[in-house]
Amino acid sequence: MKFLIQFVAILFSAHLLALFMPWYSIAIAAFIMGFLLKSNTNFLAGFSAIATLWIFNALLIDAGSSSDLSERVANLLMVKYEIVLFVAMAAIGGLVGGLAALTGALLRK
Amino acid sequence: MHVFKFIISFCVTLALIYFLDNRWVIKGNPIPPLGKFMDPFNGFWRNIEPSNAKGPELLTLPQLQDNVTVSFDSLMVPHVFANNDLDLYYAQGYITAKYRLWQMEFQTHAAAGRVSEIIGAGRNDALLNYDRGQRRLGMVYAAKRSVAALSENQESLIMIEKYTEGINSYIKSLTYKTLPFEYKLLDYTPEPWTTLKSALLLKYMAQTLNIGDKDMEMTNALKLYGPQIVDLLYPDREDVGSPIVDNNGGWKFKINLPDSLPMAVPQELIAVKRLSEHDPNIGSNNWAVSGNKTASGSPILCGDPHLNLNLPSLWYIIQLNAPGVNTMGASLPGTPSIVIGCNDSIAWSLTNAQRDLVDWCKITYQDGSRSKYLLDNQWIDTQKVVEIFNVRDRDPFADTVLYTYWGPVTYDRNYMPDNNHSEYAFRWISHDPSSDATAFYKINRALNYKDFNDALDYFAAPAQNFVYASTSGDIAMRIQGKYPIRRPLEGKFVIDGTKKGNGWNAFIPNEQNIQEKNPARGFVSSANQYPVDATYPYYITATSFEAYRNRRINHQLADMNQITPRDMMTLQNDNFNLKADESLPYLLQQLDSTTLNPEEKRAYSALKEWDRINDKDSEGASYYEAWWENLMPMVWDEMENSKAILKRPTAFTTIKLLKERPTLSFFDIQGTLEIETAREVIRKAFSLSVEDIEEWSADHNGAPAYWGDYKDSYMQHLARIEPLGIHVRAGGNANAVNAHSKLKGPSWRMVVSLEKTGVKMWGVYPGGQSGNAGSEYYANMLDPWVNGEYFQMQFFQYPEDALKHTFFTTQLNKQK
């Protein structure tokens, strides 16, 4: 339950901050929610919240367009399939979110 | 312990963020800032536009004098309605930047020799050397001089300044989220636009079109082979016929031809790696037919400039309407006004006018310090210009370029030291100040032939064949540029740079430039061929003249009557290969069909049955082109293998010599025991070409080499970013009217019917109105273009008409 609350809190606060802040605002959101809502699975909560947030938004953009730019970017970054691009993106955001949530939780005794 | 864990975790997080927020070069491969780039809220995802996305309804732009309405039609062509010129060009700048900013800026960087600032030095310093070459050709020097000339004409100065303001106002509105894709990928930001950048773009076009020459190659040929062979291999005028203007005996002016120029053939052969070769696949068609040859009774004007087919596309289609002007057509992103198009009264299009407008002047230095050089018996100071290159991921690089009376010393010991120190100064017509932008400002407003002609007087370079037609029924052609009066053979070889008198001392007066109006044959046309009949008084030479497309066009036009716009579209897409038609029967005669192996027999019969049309599904076309590609280097192998630079004769001359002089010593292949004649070279090239096709086929799962597949045309991304390019399967080739070779071709096909009830325009180009690879308008016109389809352009009189046909409208409002 604690995990779920933390997950949702990170997801929403990160979304909110992202609307007017640079990409690393995900770390700020995860850090604060790691601190305030410390659980046993801080890293997992931060990781999965940001990964979910990013995948969801990227999918939304991709589905609403007839453009194949995401495939071209996959080729550019030398990952063969678009799905790998999504996984890589989720891992990048997730890692930052997870570590930030963990750091926030560690600040609290 | 707990604090320690926190500190570690905190540092790791920060380090990771730092890593993902910056660009890295790992083993020579640049990696974009991954976190920033992948973030779906601000990163590249934001460049993926939703289907049917509309632009903003209202923008408030404080620099406007009055409100401007911009209506976009279903092709995303903007129709700009302004109440004055200032706002018109401001809006053109703003809207063009909104859709094409990255391309505009990148092209100015490519012109100015600044690509290595963005991309780095490149493999083996290739990009840095490209940049150095651009500076050494004097591109920035030329652009600066043309900015200075601009201020002489108030109207065009204001036009460029307002256009610049419009672009800058768009640039200021950008955030990382709204930055064009390429900036995010390559991790940099746009700098403010300047009038210099607009001038650089025009010089970049000039570089594509009129920087070609063969002076060094001809000088070497003269030394190696003597004057008779030079005349045989490189005649100034090939026996082709069909010049642009045939006014035999009708040139009503006399000139005093200056004396011939003393030649300065140097002691040693010149071996430089040339920067400035003209690509023969660059060229264009344009023509106009008079009303008595058309079904409607009104003239029809057509144009298709053949240029590099890049993505984002070279041209941006736009309509510009303000009191005193209503014009539409292709604009060059980064420069104001319409370059090729129509207004309510006239239409015009351009092809490149082939003419030698380059000289290489041999400099005599006083000593090794090169600080003084000889000019008219005096030692003059060279001017040393230090060019700085802020190469990405590396320390800045400095290059010293010497400038002389003639221009910059392009090749010297500082640059490509293996270039046997050929210290020639570069004289180029585009180094001269000129205000070509003024010409387009005035053409856009021209109501009749007189206005058009007056406008052309402002146009100096790159020299163009301007075709013209009007609703009042006139058709005309004028070859306009600033042309030095050449002495016989002047410009063909390098010249002695110790005397000013050897340079360009006078220019052909504009009224004596080649032109014709309403000729008896009922049409005017140009396709980069030799410009004029033999009675034109001035000496003309050029790198090469087109020999086939133009004759096909003229032949077709002469035969046609009751012409409709549809007929003109068919002609623009004509894939008939006149070169093959004239050479293939002879080439096939040289083969003894009894000595052919099975693959060669198959090729032989494919060629025999071939209809000489380079359609995408033709196998014969592939066999012919492969044969030709093998034949040329084999015939002229002594030139390929020479250390001194030489130039192959043209296809037309090669075919003529193969037919008429089959035992010419050049046909002997070097390094073989036997003495080859035309017959053997043709046979050997045939075998190699069949091997090439077989190899291609084996690489493609045994598929037949259909021309569209074998040619493999490719729309290259401007920055050579492979996944952003698009391959297409298409017919045509450089010598066909549809001059679509692998990387170059018709960059904008336009047909205009000049009806009294209203001018109608059809057009298409290989790309789309958006420069954004994430937009559905990035390449939406590409397939229709390949298939020879056209779109009728919406050319409106009033903003109310535009609103009716509009996809969406963006209102640009001045501040309240």
Q: What are phi and psi of B149, to 5 degrees?
A: -70, -30
Complete DSSP assignment for B370-393: --EEEETTEEEEPEEEEEEE--TT
How does pLDDT run across B560-596, given as a tens digit for each residue? 999 999 999 999 999 999 999 999 999 999 999 889 9
Question: CA–CA separation, B51 vs B616, rounded Å?
Answer: 31
What's the confidence (pLDDT) of residue B414? 85
Gap between the terminal Cα atoms of chain A: 21
What's the confidence (pLDDT) of residue B490? 86
Mean local confidence (pLDDT), A90-94:
97
Helix (H) or strand (E) run with residue B653 in it? helix B651-660
Mean local confidence (pLDDT), B167-188:
97
**Res B524 pLDDT > 70:** yes
What's the confidence (pLDDT) of residue B435? 83
Confidence of residue B160 (pLDDT cuts 50, 70, 90): very high
Q: How many CB atoms lie within 10 A of CB B702?
A: 8
Judge contact between B485 and B508, C-beta under 8 A: yes
What's the confidence (pLDDT) of residue B272? 78
What's the confidence (pLDDT) of residue B421? 64
Q: What are phi and psi of B753, to 5 degrees?
A: -100, 120
How does pLDDT run across B723-759, given as a tens digit for each residue? 999 999 999 998 999 999 999 999 999 999 999 999 9
What's the confidence (pLDDT) of residue B321? 97
Complete DSSP assignment for A30-44: HHHHHHHT--S-HHH
Lowest-pLDDT choice from A2-16, B161-175, B237-251, B276-290: B276-290
Question: CA–CA separation, B786 vs B763, rounded Å?
Answer: 13
What's the confidence (pLDDT) of residue B263? 63
Mean local confidence (pLDDT), B77-101:
97
How does pLDDT run across B218-229, given as a tens digit for each residue? 999 999 999 999
What's the confidence (pLDDT) of residue B607? 97
Chain A residues contacting B via beta carbons under 8 Å: 18-19, 22-24, 27, 31, 54, 57-58, 61-62, 64-67, 69-70, 72-73, 75-76, 88-89, 92-93, 95-96, 99-100, 102-103, 106-107, 109
**Res B266 pLDDT > 80:** no
* Residues in contact with B658: Cβ distance below 8 Å, sequence separation at least 6, in sequence order: B583, B586, B635, B667, B678, B681, B682
Give CA separation, B278 vs B432, B543, B544, B639, B686, in Å. 20, 8, 9, 18, 28
Task: Say whether A72 and B776 touch across the interface (CB within 8 A).
Answer: no
Put simply, whether B21 touches A (Cβ < 8 Å) is: yes
- B-chain CB neighbours of A23 within 8 Å are 21, 35-36, 39, 41-43
Q: Coil, strand, or helix at residue B502? A: helix
How does pLDDT run across B660-695, given as a tens digit for each residue? 999 999 999 998 989 999 999 999 999 999 999 999
Q: Count Cβ atoms within 10 A of the Cβ of residue A1 and give its class: 0-12 exposed, 13-18 middle, 19 or more buried.
A: exposed
Judge contact between B462 and B210, C-beta under 8 A: yes
How does pLDDT run across B446-474, given as a tens digit for each residue? 999 999 999 999 999 999 999 999 999 99
* Residues in contact with A55: Cβ distance below 8 Å, sequence separation at least 6, in sequence order: A86, A89, A90
Helix (H) or strand (E) run with residue B465 in it? strand B464-470
Confidence of residue B42 (pLDDT cuts 50, 70, 90): very high
How does pLDDT run across A24-65, given as a tens digit for each residue? 999 999 999 999 998 899 999 999 999 999 999 999 999 999
Put simply, whether B51 touches A (Cβ < 8 Å) is: yes
Comparing B657 with B416, which gets the higher pLDDT?
B657
Lowest-pLDDT choice from A74-88, B317-331, B514-528, B748-762: A74-88
Provide the Cα torsion B292, B294, B295, B300; round to 10°. Answer: -130
Put simply, whether B24 touches A (Cβ < 8 Å) is: no
What's the confidence (pLDDT) of residue B265? 66
Confidence of residue A79 (pLDDT cuts 50, 70, 90): confident
On average, the pLDDT of chain B sits at 93
In single-letter form, the type of residue at position B421 comes to H
Sequence length of chain A is: 109
Confidence of residue B600 (pLDDT cuts 50, 70, 90): very high
B206: tokens are: 């000039």
Helix (H) or strand (E) run with residue B791 in it? strand B791-793
The residue whose two tokens read 């550019």 is A76
**Res B151 pLDDT > 70:** yes
Lowest-pLDDT choice from A12-16, B263-267, B648-652, B756-760: B263-267
What's the confidence (pLDDT) of residue A78? 79
Task: Say whether A99 and B34 touch across the interface (CB within 8 A).
Answer: no
Helix (H) or strand (E) run with residue B78 in it? strand B78-81
Confidence of residue B86 (pLDDT cuts 50, 70, 90): very high
- A-chain CB neighbours of B20 within 8 Å are 24, 92, 96
What's the confidence (pLDDT) of residue B276? 64
What's the confidence (pLDDT) of residue B262? 64
Task: Say whether B39 and A19 touch across the interface (CB within 8 A).
Answer: no
Question: CA–CA separation, A41 vs A28, rounded Å?
Answer: 18
Question: CA–CA separation, B306 vs B812, rounded Å?
Answer: 35
Provide the Cα torsion B553, B558, B562, B566; round to 10°. Answer: -10
Please name the residues between 209 and 248 in chain B that touch chain A, using a CB distance below 8 Å: none
Check residue A94 and report its DSSP letter: H
Q: Among B150-159, B172-181, B222-231, B253-262, which range has the highest average pLDDT?
A: B172-181
Instruction: Express as a percent the part of chain A with pLDDT over 90.
Output: 84
Instruction: Express as a percent the part of chain B with pLDDT over 70.
Output: 97
Mean local confidence (pLDDT), B431-445:
93
Question: CA–CA separation, B540 vs B508, rounded Å?
Answer: 12
Complete DSSP assignment for B158-225: HHHHHHHHHHHHHHHT--TTTS-HHHHHHT--PPPP-HHHHHHHHHHHHHHHH----HHHHHHHHHHH
- B-chain CB neighbours of A58 within 8 Å are 40, 45
B610: tokens are: 């071939």
Q: What is the Rg, in whole angstroms, of the alpha carbon atoms belonging to chain A? A: 15
Confidence of residue B72 (pLDDT cuts 50, 70, 90): very high
What's the confidence (pLDDT) of residue B256? 73
What's the confidence (pLDDT) of residue B805? 78
Instruction: Express as a percent the part of chain B with pLDDT over 90.
Output: 82
Strand pairing report for B58-60 and B808-813? parallel
Which long-range contacts does B321-325 make (Cβ < 8 Å, 24+ apart)?
Answer: B321/B79, B321/B80, B321/B81, B321/B82, B321/B88, B321/B796, B321/B799, B322/B81, B322/B82, B322/B83, B322/B84, B322/B85, B322/B87, B322/B88, B323/B83, B323/B84, B324/B85, B324/B445, B325/B85, B325/B88, B325/B444, B325/B445
- To the nearest whole Å, the CA of A80 is away from the closest chain B CA by 11
The residue whose two tokens read 């006078």 is B506
Task: Say whether B774 and A65 touch across the interface (CB within 8 A).
Answer: yes
Lowest-pLDDT choice from A67-76, B162-171, B766-775: A67-76
- To the nearest whole Å, the CA of A18 is away from the closest chain B CA by 6
Cis peptide leading into residue B531 (ω within 30°)? no
Furthest C-alpha separation in chain A: 50
Lowest-pLDDT choice from B138-142, B149-153, B385-389, B572-576: B149-153
Put simply, whether B6 touches A (Cβ < 8 Å) is: yes
Q: Among B77-81, B224-228, B800-804, which range has the highest average pLDDT?
A: B77-81
Give CA separation, B127 vs B24, B122, B295, B389, in Å. 19, 5, 53, 11
What's the confidence (pLDDT) of residue A18? 95
Cis peptide leading into residue B312 (ω within 30°)? yes
Question: CA–CA separation, B9 vs B499, rounded Å?
Answer: 75
Confidence of residue B260 (pLDDT cuts 50, 70, 90): low
- B-chain CB neighbours of A31 within 8 Å are 13
Confidence of residue B179 (pLDDT cuts 50, 70, 90): very high
